[in-house]
Structure 1
C-alpha cells in the first residue's frame, strides 16, 4: 500500500492505522477527534513560563541532572523536517574551568497546542539530558516521566497532520 502524502507524519505506522487516519481526514473528523480527546490549548505562552514548566518536570524526575541554562520557544525549528524540539549541550572553557550549558528549544507551533503535547515534547528533550540516543533506555525514561508517552507521540503526529490538512484548531 502506497503511503499517502497526507499522513507523512505517520510513516512507519501500520497500514490499518493509516487507513483509519485517512478515513478521519476524508470525513473531516480529525479535528473533532483531537478536540474531544485533548480539549483546549495550554496557557504557557512565553519562554519564561516554558522554562518554569520544564524546570518543574526536570526537578520532579531528573533532580541530579545538570541544570538547564535556557528553555525557549524557537520559531526557527522546522516541524516539516521532523524537529519538534531541540536539545543542545554547549561546553566552553572559561578561565581554567570547563563550563557546560544545556538548552532546550521547542517549536513555536506548540504555543497553541494542548498541554499534553507540550509535555510530551519537553519530556522527550529532558530525556536527552541522560540518554543521547533514541534507544530502549531513552524510551523507558520517557515513559517513566510520562506513562502515556507513546500514545501522546501518536496523537501529536495526528495533530501535526491535522494542522497540515485543516489548519489551526485551537
Structure 2
C-alpha cells in the first residue's frame, strides 16, 4: 500500500481529487472521556459552574468538523451537509462516550472531520470539567464507520461503543 499524501519526491502533498466521482460520503467516529464518578454526576445534573457541558461540547465538535482543513494541513476544505455530535453517559464505567457523524456529497471522505468533531468535543468536556477533575483521560478515538467513495463501506468492530 502506498501513502497518498506523499509525492514522487517523498514530500508531503495534498491529494488531487478533481477526477474522483462525487458520491455521498459518511463517517462516524467515537471517543471516550474517562472521569471520576463525581464529575460524571455533576455533568449529568448540569451543576458545573461553566454551564451545560454537553451542549457546549456538542457545538464545539460541530464547529471543529467544519474547521478540519484549517487544523490538519493536507485535508481538503469540505462543504459538509450534516454534522452531529451525541453523547452517552456510562455511569458504571464513569465515562462520557462521544459520537460524531459527518456527511456530504463530494469527492473525498469525511473521516477526518468525524474524528476532529469527536476529539474536540472530548477536549471541551475536559476543559469544562478540569477545575473539579484533573485526572480525566480521552481514549478510544477512532473511526467506527465510513461509506462512499472508491473503497466502499468500512465498519470497525470490537471497539468501546457503536453509534447508530
Which TM-score applies when normalising by structure 1? 0.27
Going by fraction, where is strand more abundant, 1 or 2? Answer: 2
Which TM-score applies when normalising by structure 2? 0.27
